[in-house]
Structure 1
Amino acid sequence: MKLLDRHEQLIRRHVADHRGFVVKNQGDGFMIAFPDPAGAVRCCIAVQQALGADGGGSDGIRVRMGAHVGTSVRRGDDLFGLDVAMAARVADLANGGEILVSDALRLAIGDADDFGFGAPRAVDLKGVPETQTVHAVEFSDVR
């Protein structure tokens, strides 16, 4: 429980620093929304770097992260829709310590000064009829 509490505090601190908000969380998983796609990726990088440095007291645990850009439907404090499902499916594909983004998010960001993207990967996502493209975010890992 202490590890989960430290993890949640780390996530919430970085989300606030990058102008995002936590929609919901269950256990160690979070649904987070951001006003801008580059801010979402920068937040993911900051969290991964903090975990890599064990600044968050992660005990060496590596988390998977995924991001997508699009629209959603808000019902109460929750978000729904195909783009929400896409973000979850992209995250499901990531390995521990990896950040994957959809091609739509990659295109929305364009060229960023402080991070890059790996080669595109064609993937099949559950519930999505067409093959999609994802990219791994390249950043300095402090491990």
Structure 2
Amino acid sequence: MEFSGAKLALFLGDDLLVIRRDDRPDIPWPDHWDLPGGGREGLESAAQCALRETFEEVGLTLQERDLVWARHYQRPHGTVWFFAAHQPPQLQDQIEFGNEGQGWSLMPPQVYCDHPLAVPHFAVQLRSYLAESAG
């Protein structure tokens, strides 16, 4: 399946790892809380895309077996994949923030979903994951 990018809802313990986007008018959702992920490179799979972007943005190396949920949805620029993974809270000590964004934080997932600066379509996907995983 063709796709344009992938995102990862990465839980460190009970909290979600979020990235504050740069505050520039030339990017989508400036100054909003984002999730690790981004655009596809070459012929990589959706999982490879999400994991590569996570490494580039926060320095964490995860494996495909760490991904516990995957769904795709349509955006104006094409199909996007959304994944979820759960890791121990101590992994935050290994974060090495990359050169995109203003910083990172940990946030309870429901706080992200309700946050006025959450990227709206990521909050929708996260709500779907939370509802499925709770049920």
TM range (shorter): under 0.3
TM-score (normalizing by structure 1)? 0.27
Q: Which has the higher contact order (CA 8 A, sep 6+)?
A: 2
Bigger Rg, structure 1 or 2? 1
TM-score (normalizing by structure 2)? 0.28
* Structure with the larger strand share: 2
